[in-house]
Amino acid sequence: MLKADIVPAPYYIERVAILSRKEKNYEQEVAYCEKYIEIIKVFYEKNSTEDFADVRQGPRYNAIVKRLPKAKELLKKKQNR
């Protein structure tokens, strides 16, 4: 995604996160959310928002950011069993 210099769509990451939680695969949910947030951060550090739509302002990106703390909490509970 960074090599192609495009903004990755948040929809697919959100779907993976939702399905991961449904399967109680919290490690995968956390990994995908963290990786996506990092990719977006790096992308917008390299590129201005003038040339690209800013996905950070959209509801799907914000949903990914909001679900990360809960996913980490669920992962921690699962690991402590």
What are 18-65's pLDDT values in tens digits?
A: 999 999 999 999 999 999 999 999 988 888 777 777 899 999 999 999
pLDDT for 10: 94
- pTM of this prediction? 0.88
DSSP per residue, the chain:
-TTTT-PPPHHHHHHHHHHHHHTT-HHHHHHHHHHHHHHHHHHHHHS-TTSS--GGGSHHHHHHHHHHHHHHHHHHHHHT-
Q: What's the angle, vertex CA 25, arms to CA 30 and CA 38, rounded to 5?
A: 15
Q: Is residue 2 very low, low, confident or very high in pLDDT (cuts 50, 70, 90)?
A: low
